[in-house]
Amino acid sequence: MGIGWNFDNSYARLSDSFYASLKLHPVSNPKLVILNKQLASELGLNSEELQSEEGVQILAGNVAPEGSFPLAQAYAGHQFGYFTMLGDGRATLYGEQITPKEERYDIQLKGSGRTPFSRGGDGRAALGPMLREYIISEAMHGLGIPTTRSLAVVETGEKIIREMELPGAILTRVASSHIRVGTFQFIANWGSYEDLQVLANYTIVRHYPDIPNSDHRFLYLLQEVIKKQAELICKWQLVGFIHGVMNTDNMTISGETIDYGPCAFMDAYDPDTVFSSIDTKGRYAYGNQPKIGGWNLARFAETLIPLLHDEEDEAVEIAQNEIAKYPLLFEKNWLRGMRGKLGLFNEEEQDKELINELLDMMKKYEADYTNTFRALTVNKLEMTSLHDQEDFDQWQKKWQERRSRQQQSMEESTQLMKERNPSVIPRNHRVEEALDAAVNNGDYSVMERLLKVLANPFDDSPEHQEYSQLPVPSNLPYRTFCGT
Ligand code: AMP
Ligand code: MG
């Protein structure tokens, strides 16, 4: 019995203006350290076979799987506001696996060696950041947030040079595609009009097949992408996820979260929260994410100008009209999401005020974002810093009255809250603990245990309670680094 590869490489069939085909860069001593068996099965892959010598060679980028077409995708992007040419500098796209359910997923290696887009880089990745991407992306999936997935991590057996020597690793990433805003920016800047049409039509077929084949289809594409991103970033806000590097090359057209570098979850509620050591001006702070989403979408809209109308002025106006709708669309999503977190089914005009009053108090009393909403859900407020605060007591009365002004019972309201407010998130100290055990001691049991809890983050077992504990207070702020 084989591994179960079933490739159909539609991206490779596009013109080679979109990518560079690759030869592989074998590593000396690959060792599979973690495999996502559930995901393998969903992809139609046999976990036993993936763990075999042949399977590991494939996951290490030593041998290409049957039917694959290794390539590096070309893309550009605005990094911290500055436009530049990028492309997969350390990734190999094997191709598209067609699953037993006839779904199509990119299978990509990250850290697999140099490509024509590597610039000065070595094309490699360190073990810690690859395991970190594995944990956080799987946690996001558990939380019900669209995301790329992680199939496996292989240690390469080779050291890579950063500020110090680090063990090298390769992550196998699974995505509904790796088409980014930056892919469109690359083609809009350096490709032909025909290339742009090809890319836009390809994207419609692959991600938005319900768009009718009319003259307006590129406008519909813009609308759908805006809608998807408004939903995605709203979901991040609702769980306190901070992406950390929302450059346009890290924003997918499918609406999946991608490129887990310096990301982390917020503890105490504060819109100014930034973890990334390089985000010194807070461009990608928690509270800025919705606005940056709009900025990135405007860059996407710009790339579509030639397709929106023959007259450039008209096209610009069409694009601007759509972009102008984004803030309201985002807010609608956010209000709906926040109502859910507070157990509210219906809408009242003062809901926004009610929500913002709570958030303001959470900021004032440095209340933990996740645990406060969970405490409201299970009525255990004595665990939070809001407990016994007079203004919070007032607010609670108002909230309980508001909850009673709906058809649904209190039990139904509580049930809704249980489904919307996770008991666990990948707490920074827990992630660090798991990475430390794996990277420094070769002990993957801590990570496996963490992943198990994160797979069902809305459960409430004693184990979940253990993982919802805050770290011991520290004077040092948590810092994350780009996983290069
Ligand atoms: P990222 O910060 O992971 O989104 O990467 C930004 C860009 O830098 C992408 O074009 C990556 O492919 C490239 N890159 C990151 N690390 C390396 C590396 N070690 N070698 C070559 N290119 C890299
Ligand atoms: Mg990236």
Pairs from 195-204 (Cβ < 8 Å, separation ≥ 24): 195/15, 195/17, 195/18, 196/303, 196/306, 196/307, 197/307, 198/14, 198/15, 199/14, 199/18, 200/304, 200/307, 202/10, 202/11, 202/14, 203/179, 203/253
Q: β-strands 165-175, 149-161: how paired?
A: antiparallel
Range of the domain at 434: 428-467
Are both 389 and 451 inside the same structural domain? no
**Tens of pLDDT, residues 233-286:** 999 999 999 999 999 999 999 999 999 999 999 999 999 999 999 999 999 999
- Distances from the Cα of 282 to the Cαs of 272, 273, 285, in angstroms? 7, 8, 5
pLDDT for residue 484: 54
Are both 115 and 254 inside the same structural domain? no
pLDDT for residue 471: 87
> Looking at the domain assignment, is residue 476 inside a domain?
yes
Are both 250 and 345 inside the same structural domain? yes
Separation between Cα atoms, residue 81 and residue 248, nearest integer Å: 9
Q: Which helix (H) or strand (E) holds 201?
A: helix 193-207
> Looking at the domain assignment, is residue 446 inside a domain?
yes
Are both 412 and 452 inside the same structural domain? no
Separation between Cα atoms, residue 214 and residue 32, nearest integer Å: 48
Ligand in nearest proximity to the CA of 89 = 1
Are both 245 and 286 inside the same structural domain? yes
Ligand 1 near 110 CB (within 6 A): no
C-alpha closest to that of 122 among 162, 172, 80, 150:
162
Ligand 1 near 442 CB (within 6 A): no
Are both 403 and 286 inside the same structural domain? yes
Residue of 249, 267, 279, 368 marked active site: 249
Are both 475 and 459 inside the same structural domain? no
Are both 117 and 266 inside the same structural domain? no
> Looking at the domain assignment, is residue 452 inside a domain?
yes
Ligand 1 near 121 CB (within 6 A): yes
C-alpha closest to that of 207 among 249, 254, 175:
254
Ligand 1 near 167 CB (within 6 A): no
Separation between Cα atoms, residue 387 and residue 392, nearest integer Å: 7
> Looking at the domain assignment, is residue 438 inside a domain?
yes
Helix (H/G/I), strand (E/B), else coil: 167: strand
Separation between Cα atoms, residue 86 and residue 200, nearest integer Å: 20
Catalytic residue check, 249: yes
Quote the tokens at residue 360. 């303001």
Helix (H/G/I), strand (E/B), else coil: 264: strand
Ligand in nearest proximity to the CA of 482 = 1
Quote the tokens at residue 476. 């040092």
DSSP conformation letters of 304-365: HHHHH-SSHHHHHHHHHHHHHHHHHHHHHHHHHHHHHHTT--S--TTHHHHHHHHHHHHHHT
> Looking at the domain assignment, is residue 195 inside a domain?
no
> Looking at the domain assignment, is residue 185 inside a domain?
no
The residue whose CA is least distant from atom 2 of ligand 1 is 482
Which residues sit opposite 126 in a β-bridge?
Answer: 168
Are both 144 and 231 inside the same structural domain? no
pLDDT in tens, the chain (484 residues): 799 999 999 999 999 999 999 999 999 999 999 999 999 999 999 999 999 999 999 999 999 999 999 999 999 999 999 999 999 999 999 999 999 999 999 999 999 999 999 999 999 999 999 999 999 999 999 999 999 999 999 999 999 999 999 999 999 999 999 999 999 999 999 999 999 999 999 999 999 999 999 999 999 999 999 999 999 999 999 999 999 999 999 999 999 999 999 999 999 999 999 999 999 999 999 999 999 999 999 999 999 999 999 999 999 999 999 999 999 999 999 999 999 999 999 999 999 999 999 999 999 999 999 999 999 999 999 989 999 999 999 999 999 999 999 999 999 999 999 999 999 999 999 999 999 999 999 999 999 999 999 999 999 999 999 999 998 887 778 898 875 5
Cβ burial of 173 (10 Å; 0-12, 13-18, 19+) is buried
| Cα 263 to middle of ligand 2, angstroms | 12
What residue type is assigned to position 200 of the chain? Answer: A
Q: How many domains does the chain have?
A: 3
What residue type is assigned to position 226 of the chain? Answer: I
The residue whose CA is least distant from atom 16 of ligand 1 is 484
Contact yes or no for 53/154 (Cβ under 8 A): no
Are both 163 and 223 inside the same structural domain? no
| Cα 396 to middle of ligand 2, angstroms | 43
Cβ atoms within 10 A of the Cβ of 192, count? 11
Separation between Cα atoms, residue 382 and residue 387, nearest integer Å: 5
What residue type is assigned to position 284 of the chain? Answer: Y
Are both 413 and 314 inside the same structural domain? yes
> Looking at the domain assignment, is residue 119 inside a domain?
yes
Pocket probe mutation, ligand 1, options 22, 78, 90, max atoms within 8 Å of Cβ: 90
pLDDT for residue 483: 57
Separation between Cα atoms, residue 446 and residue 63, nearest integer Å: 31
Can you point out the beta strands (E) in 86-227? Answer: 91-98, 104-110, 125-126, 149-161, 165-175
Ligand 1 near 89 CB (within 6 A): yes
Are both 272 and 336 inside the same structural domain? yes
> Looking at the domain assignment, is residue 462 inside a domain?
yes
